[in-house]
Every structure is written in C-alpha cells, then in structure tokens.
Structure 1
Amino acid sequence: MQNLNLYQVERRRRGGPRQTHMLLGLALLAFVCLLHAGWQYWQLRDARQQLLLAEAQAGEQESVLATAKAGFVEPQLDPQLPAEVAARQAENGQLQGLLNYLRVLAEQQNTGFVAPLQALAEHHPQGRLWLTGIHLDQGGTQLRLQGRAQSQQLLPGYLDALGRSPVFSGREFARLDVERGEDGLLDFDLSSRPADQEKADE
C-alpha cells in the first residue's frame, strides 16, 4: 500500500517585474531620452546657424541700401526746359504751316498751268496761226504768247475767242507787238507784263 502526501507546501509566487527587467527598461528609457535630447540640440543648432546667416544677409542688404541712399541724387527739372519745349513746338508749328502752304501753292500752280494750256489748245485756229512760244509764270497768272499769223485780221478774232474762255475771262494784257517778217507772215508777241519787266526777269 502506497502512501500519498496530499499536503504540499505552496511556494510563494513572486508578483511584479523582476529587477533585471526594470534595469533594462530604465536603460532603454534613458537612451531614448538621450536620443531625443541630441535631436533637439541638433535642430536648435541648425536653427541658430540659419538665424545668424539671415541676420548677416539682412545686415548686408541694409548696408547696400544705406550706400544707395547716400549716393542717390534726386533728379531736378531744368527750369529752362519747359520754355525750350514750347519754343520747339512753336517752331514745328510754323514749319508745318509753311509746308502746308507750299503744298497748296504747288497744287495751285500745277492746276493753274493746266487750265490755260487746255484753253489755248481749244481755241487755236488750225493752219492760219501758230504759237511759237508759251510762257506761264506765277501759277499761270502771268502769260506771254509768241507766234505767227498769215494775216493781221486773225489776231483780233483769236484774242476775242480767248477772252470768251473762262480761264482768260477778265484777263488784261500789257502789250501786243506785231511785226511783219521777211516771208510776209506776221510775228506777234502778246504779254500780260510790260517789256521792261520781262527784260528784268530775263
């Protein structure tokens, strides 16, 4: 028969962490804190360097600005400039007016030459009277006709025909010289200016 000892002394169970585990945890926590402190120190050091660099750049910019302000000379308007501009504008206006006048005068002269020549061609008697010279001056206001005619009776009719033309209406001639040539034809010289003025112009 076997005897069983049912009574056993229960061993006391230890509760809570072991001392080794606590030491490892504290060491790990200290290491993490050390890493965090190092990272914070590095961030602070980098921020200080950036701050110093920014302050140095700001100082340089202020120095450049101060130098520029010291060397800046405010431009001043020449008191004579407005008067000179006004004078140049007046001169330009006068030149423009003269140019317009010359342009109008040239147009009038061109027009004044065409109309008398056209009237002379329309009232020219064919075969009995010839024009050997036509002189137009001052835009057609001064006229001199030189030519030859078969008979003296042709001249009054020719002058009367010219007088009926609107171009020559009211025009007065200063002289009319008529001479018979060796060939029996009449040489005439009709001009709106006296002979002395024509010689002076020549």
Structure 2
Amino acid sequence: MQNLNLYQLERTQQSGPRPAQMLLGLGVVLLLCLGHASWQAWQLHHGAQRLAEKQLQAQQEEAQLASALGSFIEPTLDERLPEELAAREQGNRELQRLVAYLQLLGSQRSAGFVAPLAALTEQHPPSGLWLNGISLREGGGIFVCRGAARTRSCCRRTCSAWGRVPYSAGVSSRVSMCSVVTINCCILTSRPS
C-alpha cells in the first residue's frame, strides 16, 4: 500500500517563459520597432528633401526652357537657296564633264604617242641601221619610222624585233625599201589593231 499525505501542497510545474522574461522580450520588441520607425522616419525625411531639390531643379529647368522658347526664332527658308542649289549643281555637272574630257585627253595623249615611243626606246637597232625620221599620225594609230640601212637584212631584223614588242602585238608592219647604190631606205609603218 502506498502512503498518501493529503496535507502536502502540490506544486504545479510551470512550463514556458516567466513573466520577467516576457517583459524583457516585450521591451526588446518595442526597441526594435522604435529603431525601425526612426529609420523609416529618417528615410522619409531624406527622401522628402531630395524630392524638394529635384522639384526645384525641374522648376528652374522649365523656366530656362520657357525663356529659351520665348527667345527662339523659328528659321525660315531663304528663297534664294533653291536657285543657288540649282546653280551649284549645274556648276558641278560642268566640272564633272570637264574632268571627264580632261581624262579622255590624258588617255588619248598617253595612248597616242607614249606607247610607241617607249616601245621604240626598248629596241636596239642593229649596227648599220640609222633612223632619221619618226612620225605619228591619227593620234598614235599610225607610227612611221624612216631611215637608212647598209643591208636589207638590217631592216628585216628591225621589223621582226618590232613585232616582238608588247605595243605592237597584233600590229601589221610593212617594210618598203628603196635601193640607192649601197644604202637602203627603210620605212616601218605600224597600226595597232
């Protein structure tokens, strides 16, 4: 059997925080709320200052814009511009025609006599051949050399050498010789094809 003491006070076991701990926790929460509220108030105050500065700056810029628009004079088209533009375009077309004409003259000049004379300087006539006349006709289309040679073979060698020059590729060459005692007269005519 078990003995029970009915006169003994039973103590209840408490679980959870004590009232002092509850008061301490409540104080911490209130401090955190107060810190957060002060932080938010400072942010709000700082934001309001920045907003006021930006609004002041916007008002100043709007005032500058209004003064600039007030002094702005809208440009008008000068009536002389289309005429002046047409005149300059006409002048440009004339200059382009002049450039094309000068280029044509330059190409005719270089094609006219430079190529055959350059080809002639590349040739070394054999001994016994003398050139005493060179003529160009039709803008360099006809090239004639006149001279004298001791033998007919000198003229033939000169004509065959002339046929190997790049200028005279595809050129018809003709040699006419006139016999004068011991000297032959050689005429070389070339016409580029």
Superposition TM-score, scaled by structure 2 size: 0.47
| Structure (1 or 2) with the larger CA radius of gyration | 1
